[in-house]
Amino acid sequence: MTAMQTVAVVTGAARGFGREIARRLVARGHRVVITDLDASAVDTAAAELGATGIVADARLAADHDRVAAEAAGLGTVGVWVNNAGVLRAGKVWEQDAADIALMVDANLNGVIHGSRAAIGVLRGRGGHLLNIASMSAHGPVPGLAVYAATKSAVLNFSVSLQGDLDLEGIPVRVHALCPDAADTTMVRAEQGSSDTAILHSQKALLTPDAVADAAVAMLDGDRLVRSLPAYRAALARTGAVLPRVGLPVLARMRAQGERRRVAGS
């Protein structure tokens, strides 16, 4: 799509994937609005990128509505990226209830509320809604069960949402990107936990640049779901379709990842 100074919104964009996605959207000529909870980080990122920064909590429907209204005040909104999310590693029976609620609220409810707000400003002229899911959306991820559950829900929600939009004739195209583990602050913050071992089972973590490139490229077409890298998605789906086969494989991958995690800590 041609930017033509259309407005693009990126949530959770003070750092990581969101910041790099916003950077590319600015380069494409969009007027970009970034959101995050950390006011100082929002100001810094907005100044660096040449974007408009808004402090907002992705967990709150009212904040998404406020962002949508402010974005629409800047021009025609053509792109909305639900990127905000959190990761807390751990076995569910050991995790704090607050951490579980945080992941569900930020990763899933944030995408649902963000999508509702996005459709409100996109539906008139059409546009693109991009939800950042995860490779963990495709199958079981021991050590990250709650996180994986939220991302699986994001993927299913995104595909179902596209079906609803198509049935209603609303010209909004939904995209869901499912990247593997990447070298971000969010992942590094949890690297000390052995429950993140499977994240390190690939030879190298993805870079935020690679994920951002893939994300923005999706806006040029109609592709609904993309996994990065694709071969890892096939492995992940095995665990979901054939758990008796997949779970032992995941255990071996986890052991391999643990060696790499410890070496990189």
Distance CA(157)–CA(124), nearest Å, equals 22
Split at pLDDT 50, 70, 90, the class of 244 is confident
- Give the pLDDT of residue 157: 98
Residue holding tokens 């806006």?
Answer: 219
Catalytic residue among 147, 152, 179, 232: 147
Is residue 104 within 8 Å of 154, Cβ to Cβ?
no
Distance CA(200)–CA(18), nearest Å, equals 22
Token pair, residue 88, equals 């807390």
DSSP type of residue 104:
I
Virtual torsion, Cα 129, 132, 137, 141, nearest 10 deg: -170
> pLDDT by residue (tens digit) across 98-135?
999 999 999 999 999 999 999 999 999 999 999 999 99
Residue holding tokens 């930020």?
Answer: 106
- Give the pLDDT of residue 112: 98
> pLDDT by residue (tens digit) across 156-192?
999 999 999 999 999 999 999 999 989 888 877 767 7
DSSP 3-state assignment of 24? helix
Domains of the chain by range and CATH? 7-264 (3.40.50.720)
DSSP 3-state assignment of 120? helix
- Give the pLDDT of residue 1: 42
Q: What is the mean pLDDT of residues 241-254?
A: 76
Straight-line distance from the first to the last Cα atom of the chain, in angstroms, rounded to the nearest whole number? 42
Is residue 198 within 8 Å of 257, Cβ to Cβ?
yes
Q: What is the mean pLDDT of residues 90-98?
A: 96
Task: Say whether 231 is catalytic.
Answer: no
